């Protein structure tokens, strides 16, 4: 889920830049704030749920 949300943000920024849309770029920037919070919350949940197993998986790639 995290990767698809990040990909959607990159695509939105790309379209905003391609269309030279300041409004689109501003909307993408505003979306960045809750996305970062969601990523951090998801990481904390995975760590609480799986502990060291999730940590080891993150380092594996």
Joined together, the tokens standing for residue 43 give: 């990481």
Q: What is the pLDDT of residue 2?
A: 56
**CA 25, CA 16: separation in Å to the nearest integer?**
5
Domain of residue 52, residue span: 2-60
**Spatial contact of 23 and 52, defined as CB atoms under 8 Å apart:** no
Q: What is the pLDDT of residue 3?
A: 67
Look up tokens 């770029």; give the residue. Answer: 25
Average pLDDT, the chain: 79
Q: What is the pLDDT of residue 19?
A: 84
Count of domains forming the chain: 1
DSSP 8-state class, residue 61? -
**CA 51, CA 57: separation in Å to the nearest integer?**
10
**pLDDT band at residue 12 under the 50/70/90 scheme:** confident
**CA 21, CA 47: separation in Å to the nearest integer?**
39
């Amino acid at each position: 889920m995290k990767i698809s949300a990040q990909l959607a943000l990159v695509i939105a920024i790309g379209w905003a830049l391609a269309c030279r849309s300041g409004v689109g770029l501003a909307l993408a920037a505003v979306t960045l704030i809750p996305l970062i919070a969601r990523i951090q919350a998801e990481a904390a949940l995975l760590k609480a749920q799986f502990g060291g197993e999730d940590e080891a998986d993150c380092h594996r790639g």
